[in-house]
């Protein structure tokens, strides 16, 4: 495995003018410590809500000694800035895609490879912090970037939205589709037949509304909660990527905790992982129906969507670009039993 060469932990970040000198605020004369958690999601989404659930759970498991202050909606920076902020220690917690964490430690991006997992149970087994794959990746992430994974919850199956019906990769020729600005995601979009346009999540609604891109890909929970149905007419159930959202912590903040405080973080992490995963799983079908009711045309395999063509096209490009680099890791992921 190789360490990403593009990240400099001593780089100076400009996080929207925020004053973030340390990952926590110690209050003199009090036992309580407040830790900062920055993320890019809307509070109404499960990804956003789970940060608040974790904050509440940690307050309880620590007996009130640890408090988490949550900054949603990219208040403290965009995806890349948030990843680097945890590494530098300017915030204690954040969550991100595995692909984004690949900017800190390159092999991590392999977890977001399209069509990688047998099913959701397999995804969750691989991304459990106790799995051999995650333990190995976590050790590398800590060594490379001073960042520790504390839990990962199910984020959903990513599907394509566009302003026209798309049945196969040939229908996306020349169509600009927003991609999460990291290599595994741009590869997925290009493998689907489209022109990948890297756009940070905070800029996606505007990019869709102004025609900078004609489509994007995300789980239905995100599409519904951000009201992308207002600027997108069709939802294609490509299910091309099953994601776990990865919650990370600054390693110095972790090592500065007592054993009981670390146990409190672990317990809060377990509770939140289970709650967030259940919330996504319980609502995927109803949220898809809600998008229909909002006027989106939902296209699945039974409607002529050529899933086999998407799988073949995406998998071929992934293998060309990442097969030699991630092949050993893919084999280890395949061996994890659910």
**Strand spans (E) along the chain:** 24-26, 33-38, 66-71, 93-96, 147-162, 176-179, 195-198, 215-218, 234-250, 297-299
Q: What pLDDT, on a 0 to 100 scale, did the predictor assign at position 288?
A: 97
Residues contacting residue 164 through CB under 8 Å, at least 6 positions apart:
171, 214, 233, 234
Do residues 70 and 55 lie in contact, with contact meaning Cβ atoms separated by under 8 Å? yes
Q: What pLDDT, on a 0 to 100 scale, did the predictor assign at position 2?
A: 32
Query: Model pTM?
Result: 0.86
Q: What are phi and psi of 223, to 5 degrees?
A: -55, -40
Region of 73 (left: φ > 0; alpha: ψ -120 to 50; beta: rest) is left
Q: What pLDDT, on a 0 to 100 scale, did the predictor assign at position 22?
A: 52
Q: Are strands 234-250 and 147-162 parallel, antiparallel or unpaired?
A: antiparallel
The CATH superfamily holding the domain 33-335 is: Bacterial extracellular solute-binding protein, family 7 (3.40.190.170)
- The conformation of residue 109, written as its DSSP 8-state character, comes to G
What's the residue count for the chain?
338
Q: What are phi and psi of 68, to 5 degrees?
A: -110, 125
Residues 230 and 78: their CA atoms lie apart, in Å, by: 24
Q: Which two tokens stand for residue 192?
A: 């689907």
Residues contacting residue 20 through CB under 8 Å, at least 6 positions apart:
36, 76, 85, 90, 91
Tell me the sheet residues that pair with 177: 196, 215
Taking the chain (338 residues) in consecutive chunks of 10 residues, what is each chunk's mean pLDDT?
Answer: 36 34 43 84 93 98 96 93 96 94 95 96 98 98 98 97 98 97 95 97 94 97 94 97 97 97 98 97 95 98 98 97 96 95
Give the closest residue to 281 by CA, choosing from 243, 322, 312.
Answer: 243
Q: What pLDDT, on a 0 to 100 scale, did the predictor assign at position 30?
A: 34
- The conformation of residue 218, written as its DSSP 8-state character, comes to E
Residues 24 and 219: their CA atoms lie apart, in Å, by: 32
Give the closest residue to 60 by CA, choosing from 303, 204, 242, 270.
Answer: 270
Q: At what angle do helices 259-293 and 46-61 cross, to 10 degrees?
A: 150
Q: Which two tokens stand for residue 311?
A: 């799988």
Residues 50 and 44: their CA atoms lie apart, in Å, by: 10
* Domain spans of the chain, in order of start: 33-335
Tell me the sheet residues that pair with 66: 33
Q: What pLDDT, on a 0 to 100 scale, did the predictor assign at position 65?
A: 94
Q: Name the one residue in this structure whose structure tokens are 């997108």.
A: 232
């Amino acid at each position: 495995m190789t360490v990403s060469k593009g990240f400099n932990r001593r780089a100076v970040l400009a996080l929207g003018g925020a004053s973030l000198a340390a990952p926590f605020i110690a209050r003199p004369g009090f036992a309580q410590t407040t830790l900062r958690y920055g993320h890019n999601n809307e509070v109404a989404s499960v990804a956003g809500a789970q940060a608040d659930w974790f904050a509440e759970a940690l307050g309880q498991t620590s007996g009130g000694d640890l408090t988490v202050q949550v900054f949603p909606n990219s208040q403290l920076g965009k995806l890349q800035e948030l990843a680097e902020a945890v590494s530098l220690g300017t915030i204690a917690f954040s969550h991100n895609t595995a692909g984004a964490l690949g900017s800190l430690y390159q092999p991590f991006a392999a977890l977001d490879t399209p069509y990688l997992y047998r099913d959701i149970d397999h995804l969750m087994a691989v991304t459990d912090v106790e799995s051999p794959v995650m333990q190995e990746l976590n050790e590398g992430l800590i060594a490379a970037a001073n960042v520790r994974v504390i839990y990962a919850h199910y984020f959903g199956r990513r599907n394509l939205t566009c302003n026209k019906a798309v049945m196969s990769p040939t229908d996306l020729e020349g169509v600009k589709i927003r991609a999460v600005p990291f290599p595994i995601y741009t590869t997925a979009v290009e493998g689907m037949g489209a022109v990948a346009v890297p756009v940070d999540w905070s800029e996606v609604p505007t990019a869709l509304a102004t025609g900078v891109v004609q489509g994007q890909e995300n789980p239905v929970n995100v599409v519904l909660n951000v009201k992308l149905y207002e600027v997108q007419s069709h939802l294609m159930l490509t299910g091309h990527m099953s994601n776990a959202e990865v919650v990370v912590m600054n390693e110095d903040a972790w090592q500065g905790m007592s054993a009981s405080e670390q146990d409190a973080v672990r317990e809060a992490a377990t509770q939140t992982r289970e709650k967030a995963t259940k919330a996504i799983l319980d609502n995927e079908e109803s949220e898809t129906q809600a998008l229909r009711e909002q006027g989106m045309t939902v296209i699945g395999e039974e409607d002529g969507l050529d899933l086999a063509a998407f799988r073949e096209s995406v998998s071929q490009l992934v293998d060309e670009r990442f097969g030699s680099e991630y092949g050993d890791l893919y084999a280890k992921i395949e061996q994890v039993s659910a």
